Structures are given as structure tokens and as C-alpha cells.
Structure 1
Amino acid sequence: MFYISIFFQYMSQYLKTKLQYRADLLVEFLSDLMFQAVNLIFILVVFGHTQMLHGWTRDEIIFIYGFFLVPFSVFASFFNIWDFNERYIVRGEMDRVLTRPVHSLFQIILERMELESLLGGVTGLIIMAYAGSRLHLAFHWYDVFIFILFVLGGTLVYAGIFISLATISFWSDARSSIMPMMYNIGNYGRYPVDIYNRVIRYILTWVLPFAFVGVYPSAYFLGKKEWYVYSFLTPVMGIVFFMIAIFLWNAGVKRYRGAGN
């Protein structure tokens, strides 16, 4: 209850701060929409030259992209730690965080939250609804709960990978460009993995399981029964990778010796 209370207090203060600069907030919304529109246009351009992509139709890939946006938006809102090395290790702000009686990762998550990124999830739902109507998909009452479970699983997969990458800073405080590179790799998860070769497919499934953020959970709603096992592995993979990340984080914090010159 203590952590829940702190979470909502931080959220309240964050919203008050953002609403003081409504024009900046509107610009952020528009820039996010433009970025998502560019990705959607890319899919449409690809299917302007072909009717099928390794057995997948245009609307199916649009549906996968829409689903991908939902867990990614939750991740981007609450796990915005791409600058952890620069801000908390190089600049020494980790010392401040560790003086407080709250778990360090929880504090950093709250400090770096960007709730406006949740708009991407709304866009994703709209895209899914559009593609689903064209595909004439049938949904059951329990699919809502499965959808929430898959979204949480995909979010934890992303969070687990990027938190694990952030912990490298505890062992090496040198500036690194691995985060942007990993963001680019993560984009592969928004397309069907069977369009890639076997090595990339294996990496996106078991090493850097970004496929569990988009294509695998979407396969359930698209009725791809041959991939149902992978679909329901989504929350399992999310929990496993997130627990690994927490273990690495706690080990890194114990090793951390503070900022110095």
C-alpha cells in the first residue's frame, strides 16, 4: 500500500506539471501520432507492391502493429530509462536515489514516467479495431482478460530487456550507445517472425524476445492456431525476463560505490 500511495502521488504531481504547459503537451501528442503514421504508411507502401507477405495479409500485419503499440506505450510511459547511464551514473544522481527508503528502481521509474506516451496505446487500439473489422475477427468475452494479460506480458518483456541493459552501467560507467540500437532491434517484433531467417527468428523468440510484444500475442486474436503455444507463453516470458532484470539490478546496486572523481 505504501508503494501504491507513492505511485499515485507521483502521478498526480506529474499531471499537474504537464498541464501547466499544454502547448508542449499537444506538440508531444502530435509528434507521436506522426511517428506512428509514418510506420503505418511504411506497411501500406510495402503492400502496395504485394498482396501477401509470407502468407500474411496487409490487414493482419496492421493488426499486429496496432497490438504492438499497446504494450510498447505502457513500457514507454513507465520504463523510460534510456538515459540511465548518462543521468544516474555519469552525473552521480544514483547517490541521491539510494539515500531514500524506497527501492531505487521504483524511484527511477517514477521520476522518468511519461504518461503522455499512453496515447500510443489508444492509437494501437484504434488500429486494431480497424484491422479487426476488415478481417471480420470474432472475439469472446474472455478475450478482454487475455488481451490485458498479453499486454502486461509484452510490457514486462520490454522492461526486462531494457532494465537488464541499464544494469551494465553498474559494471561499466562509460557512455554506451547500446540502448538506441536495442530500440531499433525491438522494432522487428512488430512483424511476423517467419519472414526472417532461422537465426533471427530464434533471437527474437528466446534471446531478445521482442516477438512476444507483437506478433506472438497477436497470433491468438488472428486465429493462428499453430502459434497459440507461443501466444500463451507471452506472460511467462515477461515474468521471467523481468525477474532476471530485477536480480541484475539488485546485484548492480550492491556493487555500486557512488560517484567520485
Structure 2
Amino acid sequence: MFYVKMFFQYVAQYMKIRLQYRADLIVEIVSDLLFQAVNLVFILVVFGHTQLLSGWTRDEIIFIYGFFLVPFALFSSFFNIWDFNDRYVVKGEFDRILTRPIHSLFQVILERMELESLFGVITGMAVMYYAGGRLDINFEWYEPVLFIVFVLGGALVYAGIFIALASIAFWSDAKTSIMPMMYNIGNYGRYPVDIYNSVIRFVLTWILPFAFVGVYPSAFFLEKTEWYPYSFLTPFVGIGFFIFSIVLWNEGVKRYRGAGN
């Protein structure tokens, strides 16, 4: 209950700050929507030259993209830690974090949250509704529950990977990191993995499992039976990677030397 109370206090303070600069908030929301629209236009351009992409139709890939936007929006809202190396380790703000009687990762996550990114959930649902209508997808009574489970699993996959990457800063003390590159690699998860070669497919499934954010869970709703085992692995992969990242983070904190060293 203590952590729940702290969460809502952080959210309240965040909303007070953001609403003080409403124009800036609106610009950020619009820019995010434009970025998502550009990616959608890219898919449409690709399918302007072909009818199928490794057996996947245009509407199926649009559906996958829409699904991908939902867990990615959750991740972007609460795990925006791309600048952890520079801000918290190199500049020493992590010293301040360690003086408080609350888990360090919990503080970092809430300090860096961007709740406006949650609009991506609405965008993703709208894209899925459009593509699902064209594909004549009918949801069974239990599928909304599976949808929530798959979305949370995909968000945990993203969170686990980037928390693990942020944890490397405790050992490296480097100002730069591989975060930007990893963000670009994560975009591969919004497309069917069988359009890539076997090496990339393996990496996106078992090393950096971004495929569990988009294509694998959404394949269940597209009735791609050959991918069903991977679909149901999504929550387990997400939980597994997230737990691993927490363990790595805790070990890294033990080795943190402080800004004065």
C-alpha cells in the first residue's frame, strides 16, 4: 500500500507540472501521433508495391502494428529511462535517489514517466479496430482477457530489456549507452519475424525478444495457428525478462560508487 500511495502522489505531482505548460503538452501529444502516423504510412507505401509480405497481407501487418502500439505506449509512459547513464550515474543524481527509503528503480521510473504517451493506447486500439474490421475478426468472450495479458507481457518485455541496459551503467560509468540503437532494434518487433533471416529471427525471439511485443501475441488474434505457442509464451517471457532485469539492477546498485569517485 505504501508503494501504491507513492505512485499516485507522483502521478498527481506530474499532472500539476504538465498542466502548467499545456501548450507544450499538446505539442508532445501531437508529435507522438504524427510519428505513429508516419510509421503507418510507411506500411501503406510498402504494400503499394506488393500484395503480400512473406505471406502476410497489408491489413494483418497493420493489425500487428496497432497491437504493438499498445504495450509500447505503456512502456513509454512508465519506463522512459533512456538517459539513465548520463543523468543519474554520470551527473550523480542517483546519490539523491539512494537517500530515500524507497526502492531506487521505483523512484527512477516515476521521476521519468511521461503519461501523455498513454495516448498511444488509443491510437493502437483504433488501428486494430480498423484492420480487424477489414479482416472480419470476431473476438470470443475470453479474448479481451488474453489481450490484456499479452499487452502486459509485451510491456514487461520492453521494460525488462531497457532496465537491464540501464543497469549496465553501474559497471561502465559511461556517458553514452546503446539505448538509442536498442530503440531502433525494438522497431523490428512490429513486423512479422518470418520476413527476416534465421539469425535475426532468433535474436528477436530469444536474445532481445521484441517479437513478443507485437507479432507473436497479435498472431493469436489473427488465427495464425503456427504461432500460437509463441503467443502464449508472451506473458512468461515478459515476466522472466523483467525479473532478470530487477536482479541485475539490484546487483548494479550494490556496485554503485557514487558521483564523487
- TM-score bracket, normalised by the shorter chain, equals over 0.9
Q: Matched residues in 2 for 1:113 and 1:247: separation?
A: 22
Measure how far apart 1:235 and its partner are: 0.3
Is this contact kept in 1: 2:78–2:112, CA < 8 A?
yes
Q: Matched residues in 2 for 1:34 and 1:254: separation?
A: 42
Partner of 2:28: 28
Q: Matched residues in 2 for 1:257 and 1:16: separation?
A: 34
Partner of 1:240: 240
Partner of 1:49: 49
Measure how far apart 1:101 and its partner are: 0.3
Q: Matched residues in 1 for 2:191 and 2:171: separation?
A: 34
Is this contact kept in 1: 2:216–2:227, CA < 8 A?
yes
Q: Matched residues in 2 for 1:69 and 1:144: separation?
A: 16
Partner of 1:219: 219
Is this contact kept in 1: 2:85–2:177, CA < 8 A?
no
Measure how far apart 1:19 and its partner are: 1.1
Q: What residue identity is the alignment partner of 1:149?
A: V
Measure how far apart 1:62 and its partner are: 0.2
CA RMSD of aligned residues (A): 0.7
1:140 is paired with a residue whose SS is coil
Q: What residue identity is the alignment partner of 1:93?
A: E
Measure how far apart 1:176 and its partner are: 2.2
Q: TM-score, normalised by structure 2?
A: 0.99
Measure how far apart 1:4 and its partner are: 0.3
Partner of 1:18: 18
Partner of 1:117: 117
Measure how far apart 1:177 and its partner are: 3.6
Give unmatched runs, 5+ long, in structure 2: none
1:173-192 matched pairs, under 5 angstroms: 173-192=173-192
Q: What residue identity is the alignment partner of 2:39?
A: N
Q: TM-score, normalised by structure 1?
A: 0.99
Provide, for residues 75-124 of structure 1, a one-character-per-residue CA deviation record: whole Å limited to 9, x for no partner.
Answer: 00000000000000000000000000000000000100000000111100
Q: Matched residues in 2 for 1:3 and 1:177: separation?
A: 30
Measure how far apart 1:22 and its partner are: 1.0
1:233 is paired with a residue whose SS is helix
Q: What residue identity is the alignment partner of 2:95?
A: D
Q: Matched residues in 2 for 1:191 and 1:65: separation?
A: 7
Partner of 1:206: 206
Q: Matched residues in 2 for 1:240 and 1:177: separation?
A: 24
Partner of 1:160: 160
**Matched length:** 261
Q: Matched residues in 1 for 2:84 and 2:239: separation?
A: 22
Please state if 1:172 is matched with 2:172: yes
2:141 is paired with a residue whose SS is coil
Partner of 2:137: 137
Q: Matched residues in 2 for 1:17 and 1:135: separation?
A: 43
Q: What residue identity is the alignment partner of 1:143?
A: E
Measure how far apart 1:141 and its partner are: 1.5
Q: Matched residues in 2 for 1:81 and 1:227: separation?
A: 32
Measure how far apart 1:260 and its partner are: 1.1
Provide, for residues 130-184 of structure 1, a one-character-per-residue CA deviation record: whole Å limited to 9, x for no partner.
Answer: 0000000010121111001001000000000000000110001112240000000
1:242 is paired with a residue whose SS is helix
Q: Matched residues in 2 for 1:110 and 1:184: separation?
A: 24
- Comparing 154-163 with 17-26, which one deviates more in the overlay? 17-26
Partner of 2:2: 2
Q: Matched residues in 2 for 1:248 and 1:17: separation?
A: 32
Partner of 2:69: 69
